[in-house]
Structure 1
Amino acid sequence: MTSSRRILLNALALAGLGLAAAGPLHAQERVRIGFMSPLTGPQAASGIDNRDGAQLAIKALNARGIKLGGKPVQFELEVQDDGADPRQGVQVAQALVDKGLKFVLGPYNSGVTLPASRVFADAGVLVLTVASNPKVTQPAQANLFRIGATDNQLGAKMATYAAQDLKVASVAVIDDRTAYGQGVAQEFIAQAQKLGIKVVAKEFTSDKATDFSSILTGIRGARPDAVFYGGYSAQAGPMLRQMRSLGLKAPLLGGDGICSSETATLAQMSADLNVYCTQGGALMDRSDKGRAFVERYRAEYKRDPLTYAAAFHDGANLLAGAIEATQSLDPKKLAEHIAKGSHAGVAGDYAYDSRHDLRSSAVTVFTFKGKDVVALKSL
């Protein structure tokens, strides 16, 4: 064997040994997390906001280098569009299960979560959802946790603010017939009536509607002090514009579904909107974590976060924290850890009751200044 050939073979052998040695050092534990929200259709802005909040957390987690069994974890988000449609949501849920995913952030809508959660429950998938309808956690599911406020909190606190701060004596109520819209409207009505507010009209529309003139004309005749809408920004914006064109100057009230700059954008109004809404979580600008999150979100996406970016961000961190603490990818073990523990997030603290609802969830009332959603007070 020539000396040059011997040198070449030795070099190749050393390279092989180097690669073999480097392999275990660079081996990673790939953890895929499913994501469900509407990324197309009228509620796409909210779904994209949710996705970006989660992605921001995953980017930071991967940079931090969480380890599982000595291996660095590489988190990946499996993004799926459920279109805010229950049927599509069930299909998406089944697709995530078929792909072998064991963790899901979402869904966003209660109407999607209710049927999709059954698919996930059968497969033992761990679900972290912002869906607010109380039925989502009734009966309790071992692997499902709510990472936002319930309709009980959102609707009731809006009624409290309407009675005590806005001095509303009468109200008309409209809902979009979704699980979320009906739920938050029912809770608003229940609390409003307890506080002596008279409900002078109850109407309903759909989450696909764009023309509300007939409903609003009838409400105008009842002369309410306020109008409460149980639904989302995609309808709230056009509804507000039509209210004002019909001479209805009463404030528009709602839950977190309308608590987005999209409401102002779709209203196409330059004047004071006179809109109030509730959202789960404490005031973001009152904590260092909240301010830091908003700054990082703006730097990454060149826009402000909307309603639930922070909650999806917290959900990703809650899951990652459970994986790190338990050194497990077993959804059952992670669920047991989450149920017994607590996590301090951007939007609030995550500690759970027996139904896996948050034990305590601050609710903040917001209004609009131009297209900006501005916090008023926490209740």
Structure 2
Amino acid sequence: MPYYWGAILIGGVFLAGCTQNQETTTTQSGSKENVIKVGLLVDLSGGLATYGNNEKHICEIAEEKINKYFEEKGMPYKVKLYVEDTRADPNICLQKVQALHAQGITFFLGPMASGEVKNIKGFINSNKIVIISPSSTAPPQMLGFRTPEEKKYVFRFVPTDNFQGNAIGDVAKQLGLKNVIVIYRKDAWGDGLERATVEKLKANGINIIDEIPYDPNIGDWSPIIQTTTNKIAGKGNDTGVIFIGYEEVATLLSQIDDNSPLLKHVWIGCDGTANSKKVLEEAKNKAVKVKLYSTMFQSETDEAEKIKEEFKKRGYGEPDQYALNVYDAFWVGAISYAEMLNKTGGKYDADLLSKLIKENTVKYSEGQFGVKSVTGYIKLNEWNDRASGNYGIFAVTEDGWKLVGVWDSTTGKINWK
């Protein structure tokens, strides 16, 4: 079906100027093609590398499909990815954004971590850059945003940790835990999720034995291990450990002695640990013992199965939810950017792009562009964050990570598989 906002043609020439964010190329047929540069900020070698590499691979698939879509619709646009490894480090992320912006890039997918979003928000707002993160989940206030207006250039296609904290708290209750020790990553994301989780745990009548923060750059876990061991000594099966952090949980588990009492208790993780390849590679046997029940936003459509199949055929394995989120984000962003250029005669307008992304998220969810969402209906709240969503519960088994249940955000109930 033709794109409904239409191309503007006068004398056979498409009115689309060339902004710094665009390169104009000539196709084999001799027609002009405007290249829209898209920055992709992902962790390819740090604490979220499992998910970052998935996002890179799925965006490469999306890039091909979007360019084919533009060609079939007769739209003189082409998207081009510029991938940068941020290592989920806020300072490195800022450097990468500044470098790509110097190349004229004004639209980004990512970054992945809330600490990164917090660190770049000043640069984003000052330079009117628009971003869509597939996985930053800290509540807006934890990122330093005071009003929705301050966050108008920052979109997130994932619910905030107010939802995930409830999910983790309910998982602990369903598992019969009465006491927990919470180990959490000391940064904007970790602080926010820990706060939301502890609030729900207390509401569920679960006793918090201790809350133990750790430095994101930690290497030696022995002090954390010793403290946790001392706190859990003499406790029964109704006591567990909640870990709020990234894939460094694999290093933590690998440093725990094989005969440690810590391995006799249930552990609960989060979206920073769910489906981690590093856990399976470095600490699978210990993870099997503690189960490491981990929550992650869960919303897939039938269309997702097609993308997942293509992902597997290319040898990439199984895409996680955040990879599916960024796939939808790429589509919405690309369509909105092209529409913005069409409306402005080729000029970049951050406020218009922000407005179009909000509008086109709804239209994309409803299939109005002839493309189906892979993560279902995307409803954004006043903060431009996804407004709701269920959470899958994954656990480590002898066969690897398995989906063992789904937490329903509307009822608070868990459907165990």
Aligning the two structures, in what range does the TM-score lie when normalised by the shorter sequence? 0.7 to 0.9
Are residues 1:265 and 2:281 paired?
A: yes
Name the SS for the 2:285 alignment partner.
Answer: coil
Counterpart Cα distance in 2 of 1:266 and 1:149:
30
Which of 286, 302, 305 aligns to 1:288? It is 302
1:239 has 2:252 as partner: yes
Counterpart of 1:6 in structure 2 is none
1:241–1:269 contact (8 Å) kept in structure 2:
no
Match of 1:253 in 2: 268
Which amino acid in 2 is paired with 1:39?
L
Q: Are residues 1:55 and 2:63 paired?
A: no
Distance in 1 (CA, whole Å) between partners of 2:117 and 2:131 is 10
Letter in 2 for 1:139: T
Looking at structure 2, the residues matched to 273 and 77 of structure 1 have their Cα atoms a distance apart, in angstroms, of 40
Displacement after TM superposition at 1:199 (Å): 0.4
SS in 1 for 2:261: coil
Identity in percent: 21
The residue type paired with residue 171 of structure 2 is Y
Equivalence for 1:113: 117
Equivalent-residue separation in structure 1 for 2:336 and 2:401 (angstroms): 33
| 1:78 pairs with one of 65, 82, 101 | 82
Name the CA distance, whole Å, in 2 between partners of 1:236 and 1:172.
15
1:110 and 1:179 in contact (8 A); partners too: yes
Question: Which is greater in Rg?
Answer: 1
| Cα deviation code 1:132-165 (max 9, x no counterpart) | 11134543312111111212111221111211x2
Aligned-partner residue type, residue 334 of structure 1: L
Which residue identity lines up with residue 339 of structure 1 in the other structure? K
The corresponding residue for 1:338 is 357
What SS does the aligned partner of 2:118 have? Answer: helix
Which position in structure 2 is the counterpart of 1:7? none
Tell me which residue corresponds to 2:196.
Answer: 187
CA contact (8 A) 1:322 1:337 kept: yes
Deviations for 1:309-346, whole angstroms, at most 9, x for unmatched residues?
A: 11111110121232455545533222112224514332
Q: State the shift of 1:75 in Å.
A: 0.7
Shift of 1:23: 7.6
TM-score calculated relative to the size of structure 1:
0.85
Matched, 1:31 2:36: yes
**Cα distance in 2 between the residues matched to 1:217 and 1:148:** 35
Residue 149 of structure 1 is matched in structure 2 by 159
Matched residue of 2:186: which SS?
coil
Q: Counterpart in 2 of 1:205?
A: 214
Q: Measure, in 1, the Cα distance between the counterparts of 2:87 and 2:27.
A: 44
Please give the alpha-carbon distance, in whole angstroms, between the structure 2 residues aligned to 1:40 and 1:214: 25
Paired residues of 1:35 and 1:78 also in contact (CA < 8 A): yes
1:162 aligned residue (172, 186, 192) = 172
Letter in 1 for 2:351: K
Is this contact kept in 1: 2:168–2:295, CA < 8 A? yes
SS in 2 for 1:122: helix
Distance change >3 Å, CA 244–CA 317, structure 1 → 2: farther
> Quick check: 216-225 or 25-34, which moved more?
216-225
Give the CA deviation at 1:37.
1.7
> What residue number does 2:101 align with?
97
Q: Normalization by structure 2: what TM-score?
A: 0.78
C-alpha displacement of 1:209: 2.2
Q: Which residue of 2 aligns with 1:359?
A: 387
Number of paired residues? 353
Q: Which has the higher helix share?
A: 1
CA–CA distance in 2 between the matches of 1:352 and 1:149? 9
| Structure 2 residue identity aligned to 1:103 | F
Q: Within 1, Cα distance between the matches of 2:87 and 2:330? A: 21
Deviation sequence 1:176-225 (CA, Å, 0-9, x none)? 21222222111111110111010001112222323323322322333361
Amino acid at match of 1:157: A
Moved more, 246-255 or 336-345: 336-345
Match of 2:412 in 1: none
Q: Which residue of 2 aligns with 1:178?
A: 187
Alignment root-mean-square deviation, CA: 2.4
Inter-CA distance 174–220: structure 2 relative to 1 (3 Å threshold): same
State the partner residue of 2:314.
300
Partners of 1:185 and 1:265 lie apart in 2 by 27
Q: Is residue 185–residue 228 contact of structure 1 (8 Å, CA) maintained in 2?
A: no
Would you say the 8 A contact 2:159–2:387 is kept in 1? Answer: no
In structure 2, runs of 5+ residues without a counterpart are 1-25, 366-372, 409-417
Say which SS state the counterpart of residue 28 (structure 1) adopts.
Answer: strand
Aligned to 1:370: 398
Q: Distance in 1 between matches of 2:312 and 2:116?
A: 29
Distance 1:62 1:244, change over 3 A: farther
Q: In structure 1, how many angstroms separate the alpha carbons of the residues matched to 2:338 and 2:226?
A: 57
CA contact (8 A) 1:97 1:120 kept: no
Question: How many Å separate the matches in 1 of 2:396 and 2:307?
Answer: 21
Whether 1:349 aligns to 2:365 is: no
Matching residue within 61, 64, 70 for 1:65? 70
- How big is the shift at 1:30? 0.5
Q: Distance in 1 between matches of 2:27 and 2:160?
A: 49
Assess if the C-alpha contact under 8 Å between 1:178 and 1:231 holds in 2.
no
Change (3 A) 1:184 1:154: same
Distance in 1 between the 2:162 and 2:402 partners? 22
